[in-house]
Structure 1
Amino acid sequence: MRFLAGITVAALSGLAAAASSRPSPDVFILQAKQQHPDLSSPSPPSIPKEVARHILLQRTSRDPYGSDLRDIPSAVGIETAVNFITQFGKSPAPLFSASEASDASQLVVILEGTTAENAGQLKEALVKANPASGAFSISDPPSATANQRLMTLFRNQGIAAAAQCDIASAINPFNSACWTGKSSVVKYDVQKSPETIHTLLDNLSRLLKFTAAGDLEAVLVFLPESSRTSKLNNWSALAAGDLRRRQETETVLVSSSEEETISTPAAAAAAAAASTQAPSSSRAAAGTAKAIPQCFGTFNSCMTQTANCTGHGKCVDKYGPAAGKSHCFTCACLATIVETGDEPGSRGRKTVHWGGNVCQKKDISVPFWLLTGFTIVLVGAITFAIGLLYSIGEEPLPGVIGAGVIRASK
């Protein structure tokens, strides 16, 4: 009997040890209304990178997210992917909500190069603070190149925070230096900046206060060091042409048009490190945009506060080196070249011109005036032709012809 009891105790201890040593999830979600974990499941669900990408985009999208799920693997299925996006994505806004000021800000923290040694303590602290925070695992984490492309996507939409924004400032939704609107995305390489994990661990209680108060919803993505050299160089399996077409057809703030080419390499390099201006310094004014000044005193302030002219231009000194003139840096908009067409044989290129004080608007003045001028000329020609035909019909007949139709006298 004692022998059987000893075997039973050893077996139960082994099961408990196996349960406690199971891999921690790659993605943690902290929010005011935490979902209760599925106790029947031995571990959090493992989902493909494409579904994880849709979850991140749905959370940070400023417009209603019209997701195109053509890149979902057939092994997962559209219905399953929608269930995951609904479960782990941002809750829909109330139907009759008067303002977005009551919505929680959305933060995505991507941590590259994590291992059991450098991130294990942080994961344990997250589970201990909130057992329901462990959301899911990414079954096929992509490479560092794919992560950079994903950040380029967020940066092109004005969501990525400044490159110099530290983690202690990034988790504060009231910090105007790291936030643009209601969404922010930051990425850190733990191998290059190991202090990021320690700083996040020290500020974990502060982060939990923001989420408990409903001011913030945070998604922490732990990408293992082993995935840095993965052969998966994109978060989506769609071809580049399909992803570019999605950007033109969907009314969403997300797409995979990471390969849009800026006409100058210097502007492209600067756009990768630029940040966007925060709309306000307080929560009450979070939904109102701060006016962009006409002039900036320095080149760096122009780059920082305009996201390098929204990635579509460069900051230049308006007056140049002229004597007696103070520096006035403004945005000089450039043209971008994008590829069009979906099939290899039908692909082409088109040039897009930009305008506005920060080059945030497409310049459609040339097509507009061409169409307007052509319409005016066409309407004028048709009107002239109709008037000419009418005037010819109103002219009296010649006398010779008129004589042939005079009534004979009796």
Structure 2
Amino acid sequence: MKLSWSFLFSSLLACSAASPKAGLVYVYDPDTPATSQQSPSVSPETARLILAQRLGLSQFHSIKDASDELIGQLNAFGGRQQRPFGVDNIRNKAQALIWIEDVDDASTIVKDQAQYSAAFYVADPPSSSVNENLIKNMILQAESLAQKSDPQALSYNAGLVVDNLLGRFSHVETYNDYLSVFRADKTVPLPDLSNSLAQLIASSKDLGSEGFAITVVFMPPSSHHSKRALNAYGTYDLPSTLAARRENVEALLSESTAQPSPAPQNFTPLTSEKFAALQSDDPVLGILPTCFDSQEACQKQTHSCSGHGDCALLRKGQKGSDATVTDCYGCKCNATVIEVGNGGKKTTVWGGPACQKKDVSVPFFLLLGSGVGITFLITFGIGMLYSIGNEELPSVIGAGVSGPVRK
């Protein structure tokens, strides 16, 4: 009997040791003091709803049978509430999403938790591939929104600050001029990243009420316990088209809003490279070369292949001082699949040197072939009818209808 109890106790210890670690999310909002309450644990579905509300994407994420606990969590971690009567036009709408994978202990990066407004855990965190899919879908949702009014260029300056502090670790993308996304893993130098995150929070605090919201997500290493289903975060809607449906928002200019806001203390002059990176959501114009000297040049000049592909090595160059062929980097376009009603799917194929053009060759040739075929059939039918009408009647029929013989 003692052996049975000892075996059961050891089994429980083994199960607890094998349980997956939880993800950790830190949030910072201007004008929101840090809270001392204990960080709650939420499900991946609730975490998705919180992130969607913080990033301004709530219209794509519906809530069914919401409990009081869920509503309280959305109010606590969902960010600043929208102000009525258009007062939000003079407030910074920039959002910074920092997503770091494969982190065993977030305390090695976040030294001072009091800098943040609040924090919460994500129980049973999904795998890194599922997380990547969620980030891509939220980027698509952000790109489809109408462009936000920014008369004082507050969001523009915030994107420069994020790129200035985190761009040396990994590429920082800015979507729809308000959402800056930084993705990395534990391969980046964690002490340097910790200092940069602290400087990022301090930069937003220095702006006071004009600061920008920051969301930092730490995900543990994926294991066989991690949820690998595509719907681990629940279901949500995607925009009907990948093209950004931006509308020009007219804002009234007054003496108080006509002057741009002062730049932060660590503001650096805008260079051509940063300008190209910040304008990555705009369509690629002009004639682009099919080959680029480096992957970085390909990403900047094609705006990361317009979000429809990846820059890769197309042709390996020769080595040596007398080499005449250099490395050729270009865009490898990926087809986009969008779920439509009744479980259907719509596939869009992209082409062009920057994957900026829809490949309509198959529908074009199908329509052209059908048009040529129908035109041939109509022409053939009309010609057949015309040839039948010109034929002479047989002699037997002609004899029967001839007039009487004159005597």
TM-score range, shorter chain: 0.5 to 0.7
Give the counterpart letter for 1:30 in structure 2. Answer: Y
TM-score (norm 1): 0.54
Look up the SS of the partner of 1:142 in the other structure.
coil
Corresponding residue of 2:60: 67
- Percent identity over paired residues: 24
Match of 1:359 among 325, 347, 355: 355
Look up the SS of the partner of 1:219 in the other structure.
strand
Look up the SS of the partner of 2:197 in the other structure.
helix
Give the counterpart letter for 1:27 in structure 2. Answer: V
Distance 1:50 1:200 in 2: 26
- Is 1:179 matched with 2:169? no
Give the counterpart letter for 1:138 in structure 2. Answer: V
Q: CA deviation at 1:237?
A: 2.9
Q: CA deviation at 1:206?
A: 0.7
Query: What does residue range 199-278 of structure 1 map to in structure 2 within 5 Å?
Result: 199-209=196-206, 212-213=209-210, 216-223=212-219, 225=220, 228-229=222-223, 231-234=225-228, 236-237=230-231, 250-251=240-241
Match of 2:96 among 97, 103, 107: 107
Query: What does residue range 339-378 of structure 1 map to in structure 2 within 5 Å?
Result: 354-378=350-374
Match of 1:125 among 109, 115, 121: 115
Give the counterpart letter for 1:331 in structure 2. Answer: G
Distance 2:242 2:336 in 1: 21
Distance 1:368 1:44 in 2: 57
Contact 1:28 1:219 in 2 (8 A): yes
Q: CA deviation at 1:220?
A: 1.8
Look up the SS of the partner of 1:179 in the other structure.
strand
Cα gap change, 1:118/1:370 in structure 2, threshold over 3 Å: closer, same or farther?
A: same
Q: CA deviation at 1:90?
A: 9.3
Q: CA deviation at 1:201?
A: 1.9
Q: CA deviation at 1:221?
A: 2.0
Q: CA deviation at 1:361?
A: 3.8
Cα gap change, 1:304/1:148 in structure 2, threshold over 3 Å: closer, same or farther?
A: same
Distance 1:403 1:297 in 2: 85
- Is 1:380 matched with 2:370? no
Distance 1:107 1:179 in 2: 10
Q: CA deviation at 1:178?
A: 2.5
Contact 1:48 1:140 in 2 (8 A): yes
Q: CA deviation at 1:67?
A: 3.1
Q: CA deviation at 1:205?
A: 1.2
Distance 2:28 2:110 in 1: 17
Q: CA deviation at 1:372?
A: 1.9
Corresponding residue of 2:149: none
Q: 1:37-88: CA deviations, max 9, x gaps?
A: 999xx76765321342355467669xx776376xx8x8868x968x949982
Corresponding residue of 2:330: 331
Unaligned runs of 5+ in 2: 1-22, 144-160, 245-271
Q: CA deviation at 1:232?
A: 2.0
Query: What does residue range 58-97 of structure 1 map to in structure 2 within 5 Å?
Result: 67=60, 84=74, 88=78
Contact 1:319 1:327 in 2 (8 A): yes
Give the counterpart letter for 2:47 in structure 1. Answer: A
Q: CA deviation at 1:123?
A: 1.8
Cα gap change, 1:208/1:385 in structure 2, threshold over 3 Å: closer, same or farther?
A: farther
Contact 1:60 1:184 in 2 (8 A): no
Distance 1:371 1:361 in 2: 19
Q: 1:84-115: CA deviations, max 9, x gaps?
A: 4998279889999xxx9997333211244264
Give the counterpart letter for 1:107 in structure 2. Answer: A
Cα gap change, 1:149/1:122 in structure 2, threshold over 3 Å: closer, same or farther?
A: farther
Look up the SS of the partner of 1:280 in the other structure.
helix
Distance 1:198 1:388 in 2: 85
- Is 1:52 matched with 2:83? no
Distance 1:187 1:381 in 2: 58
Contact 1:336 1:352 in 2 (8 A): yes
Corresponding residue of 1:271: none
Distance 1:235 1:208 in 2: 39
Distance 2:395 2:185 in 1: 98
Distance 1:158 1:239 in 2: 18
Distance 2:243 2:42 in 1: 23
Distance 2:194 2:58 in 1: 31
Distance 2:140 2:393 in 1: 72
TM-score (norm 2): 0.54
Corresponding residue of 2:122: 138
Distance 2:97 2:28 in 1: 10
Distance 2:209 2:195 in 1: 22
